[in-house]
Amino acid sequence: YSEASAQRRIQSARLLRQIPEVGESIVAGRLNMTQLSQVQMMVRQKQSAEQVIVSAEEKISLISAIESKTSFETELILSKALDVPIKKLETARPQQDDSLRLEMTLSADLLKKMEQVKSLFSHVKHNPSWSELLELLADFAISKKSASRSVRERKSQLPDCESITENNEEMLTRSRSVAECSRYIPAQIRRDLLKQNPCCQFVSPVTGVKCKSRFQLQIDHVVPFSVSGDSSVANLRVLCRAHNLSEAAQWGLNIPH
């Protein structure tokens, strides 16, 4: 075993020795060694910081609360139950490959925003790690700033509106007419639809339950364009990719995966 794994087993064994009935929950699969070591570690932190003793009864109550929970959920429950102090200190440690190891605290509001960003980037990367999410955000910000600068430079070189010829105006009008009759959905309409419906709108005809997934959202034609559906707002809806594919299959259409 690794040193960390061995330490977890030692901590778990100590808790088992103090509260033998915990063994039943482990055998039943409701608890694991990692959770028991989390209990021991956070109990020690509280006892050391506040010079108090956490009783066996209190530990039993804690253990009951974390049964069938993930490691993340377990730590959250224990932090609140034991009133563990919030760490706000940020640390940055350089590593041998020139990477940087960061440790920081995200507020509840920032965490909510980051989860929303993760959903928005789900088309690019499904369920990215925190470092991958930061890289996606950095690439996006650099791209947007660079594009904005480029647009400003191009605008400064454009002729005045008055210099546009009648032929050019006719061409622009013709382009707009073609767009209205095509499957193309203007970016502003896409943004408005996603703002009004930030999750999948699919409702199961069997259970009546709405999907509400925020991953890989797409704008879908209720009546497909290929069977005479138009691109009006009334014929558009927001679906996750899975339900978009499912709906396409119902119409006998094939969308590339």
pLDDT computed for residue 175 by the predictor: 36
Question: For residue 31, is pLDDT > 80?
Answer: yes
Give the angle 198-203-209 at the CA atoms, nearest 5°: 100
Encode pLDDT of 81-103 as tens digits.
Answer: 998 877 777 888 898 998 888 88
Average confidence (pLDDT) over 14-25: 87
pLDDT score of 186 more than 60: yes
- Computed over every residue of the chain, the mean pLDDT equals 81
Would you place residue 153 in the very low, low, confident or very high pLDDT band (cuts 50, 70, 90)? Answer: low
Higher pLDDT, 157 or 184: 184
pTM: 0.46
The confidence band for 239, taking pLDDT boundaries of 50, 70 and 90, is very high
> Hey, is 2 helix, strand or coil?
coil
Contact in structure between 221 and 231 (CB atoms under 8 Å): yes
- 184-257: what CATH class? mainly alpha
How do the domains of the chain map onto residue ranges?
A: 3-81, 125-155, 184-257
Beta bridge partner(s), residue 239: 218
Express as a percent the part of the chain with pLDDT over 90.
16
**Could you tell me which residues come within 8 angstroms of residue 253 by beta carbon, excluding any fewer than 6 positions away?**
224, 226
| pLDDT score recorded for residue 158 | 46
**For range 132-152, the mean pLDDT:** 80
| End-to-end CA, the chain | 42
Which range among 19-33, 113-127, 180-194, 218-232 shows the weakest confidence by mean pLDDT?
180-194
Question: Crossing angle of helices 71-81/33-50, nearest 10°?
Answer: 20
| Residue range 60-82, pLDDT digits in tens | 999 999 999 998 899 999 999 99
**Separation CA 36–CA 63 (nearest Å):** 8
Which tokens in the block code for residue 224?
């497909």
- As a whole number, mean pLDDT of residues 22-50 equals 88
Report whether pLDDT(202) > 90: yes
pLDDT above 80: residue 166? no
pLDDT of residue 151: 56
